[in-house]
Chain A
Amino acid sequence: AQSVTQLGSHVSVSEGALVLLRCNYSSSVPPYLFWYVQYPNQGLQLLLKYTTGATLVKGINGFEAEFKKSETSFHLTKPSAHMSDAAEYFCAVSLGGGKLIFGQGTELSVKP
């Protein structure tokens, strides 16, 4: 069965520091992987997604993620954190038929 695990329910960084949010997946077939962001009291917004092809995926707001099959990982990074990046981040895998399975989420805090 496909699943995703996000390591760290809460990550805190200083403004301008590197952001690294971890996601590992479990899948018997090449997965479709997503990162979504959720700001307080809002819906989910797609940051980026991996389908096939290039393993380094660039998304919105300066975020990118690298698909590493050997490590079954799809970690999200941003070189320099901004205060506006504070939010909940969800990694998700597509199960087909419209089903998305989300990780438990990582809350990112950004300190001034």
Chain B
Amino acid sequence: DTEVTQTPKHLVMGMTNKKSLKCEQHMGHRAMYWYKQKAKKPPELMFVYSYEKLSINESVPSRFSPECPNSSLLNLHLHALQPEDSALYLCASSQEGGLDGETQYFGPGTRLLVL
């Protein structure tokens, strides 16, 4: 089963709200990723967790806060977002700890609208 699940599917939030996105995989994968995708653009990497440790932060603003409570779960905490943060947020996972050439399996995404 190569399934990555994400909740919620859609989220509307105001600029003063705090919300969280959730990602889950049960494939025993040891690396998990957050991407941001704007309309008609490719995904942009935000964070990589390898063996539950943050290994890459692509200079993402602190209003985005990732968390990896265990090897199957990845959260993205959102606080004081801006309208330009509206996008599709994709989660992915891969088998090893982010080795070169690993296949990343993507979830369906959470579509976020910031008002």
Chain A residues in the interface with B (C-beta under 8 A): 32, 34, 36, 41-46, 49, 51, 90, 94-100, 102-105
List CB contacts (< 8 Å) of B20-68 with chain A: 31, 33, 40-43, 45, 48, 50, 55-56
The tally of CB-CB contacts under 8 A between chains A and B is: 64
In the complex, B75 has a CB within 8 A of chain A: no
For the complex, what is the distance from the CA of A97 to the CA of B104, rounded to whole Å? Answer: 12
A selection of 23 A-B contacts at a CB cut-off of 8 Å is A32-B101, A41-B109, A43-B90, A43-B109, A44-B92, A44-B106, A46-B103, A49-B101, A49-B103, A51-B101, A90-B43, A94-B102, A96-B99, A97-B56, A98-B31, A98-B55, A98-B94, A98-B98, A98-B99, A98-B104, A99-B48, A103-B42, A105-B41
Q: Which 4 A-B pairs have the closest CB atoms?
A: A98-B98, A102-B42, A32-B101, A43-B106
Task: List, in ascending order, chain A residues with CB within 8 A of B98's CB.
Answer: 97-98
